[in-house]
């Protein structure tokens, strides 16, 4: 899964969504997540689904890719669904045997939560599928820029993030290599109780840590050699630019979200 976070994710095609400004995409995802949890009616949830559908359609990402993103948290969705079904006690019982009682509202709530969670994951993975890690960190850096006023090291944080992403595949490879090397020396990672197994990890972690420090040392030499002196006097090759595409995407999304908010308000105050 870590591998996916690092690179398997980005889906390299050229599409409307790919070309959106990463800042706009980040904001839209945050708003989308908020909208999902505001939607309590089927109509509102349908609006969210519509928005997600638009996103997937205009991203040219294979639908199977988007659906697959749910896989890592499938267990969580099922687990919470079972709990909701069993312990949500309001409403009229439709099914009851032994100590189990399932109400109509429990079913509704369970389905609602499952749909919410799946849409949440699909929406946010659409972001990482259509945005390169560097664009993403650039976007975060730009959005956090106001924090510079309070001396928050925005540029450094963004650089740390992109270096961390860059080194995940390298360190994964290294881990595989160390595991194989230790296995070849007779190390046993599969047997024994939990304490024994945790102890067996030590011969992997120590070489990995040492190697990570060595790499960091070499990387800092390479960065120094390439004239890195911090954010001062630094330029950027890719300037983030908000274009008509972003305006259209924002306009459509904000309209749909406005509908969701109105729907929520109407549900809270039926008198209006």
Partner 1 sequence: MEAIRFDNVTFRYNQTGDLRPPEEVLTDFGPSDYAVRGISFSIQKGEFVAILGHNGSGKSTVAKLMNGLLFPEKGTITVFGMSTRELEKLFEIRKRVGIVFQNPDNQMIATIVEDDIAFGPENIGIEPDEISRRVDWALRCVGMEGYRMASSFRLSGGQKQRIAIAGVLAIQPQVLVLDESTAMLDPLGRKEVLDVVKSLNKQQGMTVVLITHFMEEASLADRIIVLNDGEKVLEGTPRQVFSRYDYLKSIGLSVPFAAKVARILKDKGVPIEADVLTTEELFERICQLL
Instruction: List contacts with partner 1 (CB under 8 A).
Output: 7, 12, 132-134, 159, 162-163, 165-166, 169-170, 215, 218-219, 221-229, 233-239
If the CB atoms of residues 122 and 158 are measured against partner 1, the closer one turns out to be: 158
Q: Which one, of 254, 253, 250, 268, lies nearest residue 21 by Cα?
A: 250
* Beta carbons of 9 and 129 less than 8 angstroms apart: yes
Task: Write down the least CB distance from residue 245 to partner 1, Å.
Answer: 20
If the CB atoms of residues 96 and 170 are measured against partner 1, the closer one turns out to be: 170
If the CB atoms of residues 77 and 134 are measured against partner 1, the closer one turns out to be: 134
Question: For residue 102, what is the enclosing H or E element?
Answer: strand 100-103
If the CB atoms of residues 9 and 125 are measured against partner 1, the closer one turns out to be: 9
Here the tokens at position 167 are 């080194």
If the CB atoms of residues 191 and 229 are measured against partner 1, the closer one turns out to be: 229
If the CB atoms of residues 191 and 235 are measured against partner 1, the closer one turns out to be: 235
CA distance 228 to 230: 6
If the CB atoms of residues 163 and 198 are measured against partner 1, the closer one turns out to be: 163
* Beta carbons of 25 and 131 less than 8 angstroms apart: yes
Task: Write down the least CB distance from residue 217 to partner 1, Å.
Answer: 9
> In b/e form, how buried is each residue of 126-153, taking b as 16+ CB within 10 angstroms?
bbbbbbbbebbbbbbbbbeeeeeeeeee
Task: Write down the least CB distance from residue 37 to partner 1, Å.
Answer: 32
DSSP-assigned letters across all residues of 207-233: HHHHHHHHHHHHHHHHHHHTT---STT
What is the largest distance, in Å, between two alpha-carbon atoms of the chain?
Answer: 75
Q: Which one, of 121, 163, 126, lies nearest residue 26 by Cα?
A: 126
CA distance 50 to 96: 36
Q: Tell me the backbone φ, ψ of residue 21, rounded to 5 degrees.
A: -60, 130
Task: Write down the least CB distance from residue 216 to partner 1, Å.
Answer: 9
* Beta carbons of 143 and 76 less than 8 angstroms apart: no
CA distance 245 to 33: 21
If the CB atoms of residues 197 and 214 are measured against partner 1, the closer one turns out to be: 214
CA distance 182 to 190: 13
CA distance 32 to 260: 11
């Amino acid at each position: 899964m870590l591998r996916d976070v690092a690179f398997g994710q980005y889906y390299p095609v050229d599409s409307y969504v790919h070309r959106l400004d990463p800042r706009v995409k980040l904001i839209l995802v945050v708003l989308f997540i908020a909208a999902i949890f505001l939607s309590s009616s089927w109509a509102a949830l349908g609006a969210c689904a519509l928005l997600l559908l638009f996103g997937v359609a205009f991203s040219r990402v294979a639908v199977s890719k988007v659906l697959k993103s749910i896989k890592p948290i499938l267990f969580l969705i099922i687990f919470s669904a079972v709990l909701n079904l069993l312990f949500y006690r309001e409403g009229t019982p439709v099914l009851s045997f032994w100590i189990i009682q399932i109400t109509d509202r429990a079913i509704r709530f369970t389905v609602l939560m499952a749909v919410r969670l799946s849409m949440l994951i699909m929406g946010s993975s659409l972001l990482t599928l259509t945005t390169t890690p560097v664009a993403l960190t650039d976007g975060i850096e730009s959005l956090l820029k106001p924090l510079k006023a309070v001396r928050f090291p925005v540029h450094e944080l963004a650089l740390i993030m992109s270096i961390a992403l860059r080194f995940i595949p390298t360190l994964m490879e290294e881990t595989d290599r160390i595991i194989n090397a230790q296995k070849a020396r007779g190390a046993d990672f599969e047997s024994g109780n939990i304490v024994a197994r945790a102890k067996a990890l030590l011969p992997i972690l120590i070489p990995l840590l040492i190697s990570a420090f060595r790499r960091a040392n070499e990387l800092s030499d390479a960065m120094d050699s390439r004239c890195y002196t911090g954010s001062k006097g630094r330029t950027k090759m890719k300037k983030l630019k908000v274009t008509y595409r972003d305006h259209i995407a924002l306009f459509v999304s904000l309209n749909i979200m406005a509908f969701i908010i109105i729907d929520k308000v109407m549900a809270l105050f039926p008198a209006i």
